[in-house]
Amino acid sequence: MPQDRLLDALDAHVETLESDGTAKGEELIVTGVVPGTDSRAPRFHLEGYGEREFLRLNSNSYLGLAFTPELLEAEEAGARAFGVGPGAVRFISGSFSAHRDLERRLARFHDREEAIVFSSAYAAVLGSVVPLTTGDTLVISDELNHNCIINAVRLSRPARKVIYRHLDLEGLERALVDGEGTARRALVLTDGIFSMRGDHAPLDEIMALAASHDHRYPENVVVVADDSHGVGAFGPTGRGVEEYTESPPVDVLIGTLGKAFGVNGGYVTGDARLIRFLRESAPTYIYSNPITPGEAMACTAAVELVDSSQGRDLLGRLRSLTKHFEEGLTRIGVETIPGEHPVVPVMIRDTARTRAMVQHLFDHDVLVTGLTYPVVPRGDESIRAQINADHTMEDLDRVLEIIAAFPN
């Protein structure tokens, strides 16, 4: 049956995204990777760009682990031992020792009783927030939370929801006070690191607020933190924002295995009874395949590496590179938001100039992500530079030169 009227409607939708400036546009296709050296980060070949070699300053692979021999060997050993795919969801016959080893290792890394692995952090957030939200739950969420939290709240059916201004703890506290008597449970949802800006939630203060208003809710105030950009990359030993802010353990900690840990997948860690509940209730866990056994073994190797002196050295290197880049921006008179996280915003504060700067960097073989209105508010337009531990000072100096040469 011809689908012409439907396809016209779909076209109209995409065209609206394009004219609004929110379309993602055509994807760049990586066709090859040139390994890095001591003075040069890995370079990427892109389809349609011949032999040009691009520096990737927009990767979440903060520790640069993608080609680490221990991880490659672990993934290959997993594939050889168990096959390339899990073949079933976890509760049918898709639970391999590789998955359980990873869960135990993640729990130990975060000093929790248990962990549960999902196919991605997105799936982990949906899979935990939706079943934890009953019809008697108040949901309180930071306005700049990641899309996975926003969609999890949309899919949930809370008694009430309150969105507070970014990092506005007074707004959060007011919601906790006002919500008394309207809900049995309060769920406070926050990103750990906010990926657009590289800033972080004060988890220590959020936990203190939760503790002081806990008595108002028969089923507790529950703090859920998605620290996908923090775990592995932030805090003295890579435990993320919790460690950086010296916070007590949040109730539900969610992380990804696809950013600093360099592989793929997501997880939730916490109390053993919470994790038992999620194994029985999280639809994205119960009805969807897990990561492959090979990926799980590579992830375990990644956690092992991060939790070693080699990992701490990499974190130290990542921090020095980040600082070097931030100081360089200041030196050439470019505004940034200072912070230790390897997301370094280059504040341009104008949509046309941001687009032109992204193009200028691309013309000089550097890949960055531009954040323009309406993705960010007018006046906050910026370039999100992401530093990785396999970048080098030479690479970053070159990027600074390219930025400095951008016509005013």
Ligand X SMILES: Cc1ncc(COP(=O)(O)O)c(C=O)c1O
Verify whether residue 195 is a known catalytic residue. yes
Catalytic residue among 99, 146, 259, 341: 259
CA 309 to chain centre: 24
Nearest-angstrom CA–CA distance, 325 and 148? 30
Verify whether residue 119 is a known catalytic residue. no
CA distances from 222 to 123, 339, 370, 408 (A): 19, 28, 35, 49
- Kindly provide the residue ranges of all beta strands, DSSP E only, lying in 54-175, ordered along the sequence: 54-56, 114-118, 137-142, 160-164
CA 335 to chain centre: 24
From 297, 298, 287, 303, select the one nearest 94 (Cα to Cα).
Answer: 287
User: Would you say 39 or 147 has its CB closer to ligand X?
Assistant: 147
Q: Which residues bind ligand X (CB under 6 A)?
A: 120-122, 146, 148, 191, 195, 226, 228-229, 256, 258, 266
Sign, CA torsion 290/292/297/298: negative
Q: Give me the residues paired with residue 343 across strands.
A: 386
- Output the smallest distance, CB 227 to ligand X, in A: 8
User: Would you say 179 or 258 has its CB closer to ligand X?
Assistant: 258
Query: What size, in residues, is the chain?
Result: 408
- Output the smallest distance, CB 221 to ligand X, in A: 21
CA distances from 298 to 59, 254, 255, 295, 339 (A): 19, 19, 16, 5, 30
User: Would you say 120 or 269 has its CB closer to ligand X?
Assistant: 120
Catalytic residue among 200, 213, 229, 341: 229
- Output the smallest distance, CB 255 to ligand X, in A: 9
User: Would you say 344 or 400 has its CB closer to ligand X?
Assistant: 344
- Output the smallest distance, CB 404 to ligand X, in A: 29
User: Would you say 44 or 122 has its CB closer to ligand X?
Assistant: 122
- Output the smallest distance, CB 24 to ligand X, in A: 13
Catalytic residue among 195, 228, 247, 382: 195
Nearest-angstrom CA–CA distance, 135 and 141? 17
Q: What is the DSSP letter of 259?
A: S
Neighbours of 364 (CB within 10 A): 16
- Output the smallest distance, CB 124 to ligand X, in A: 8
User: Would you say 119 or 133 has its CB closer to ligand X?
Assistant: 119
Q: Rounded to the nearest 5°, which phi and psi values hold at 136?
A: -115, 30
Verify whether residue 161 is a known catalytic residue. no
The set of catalytic residues is 195, 229, 259
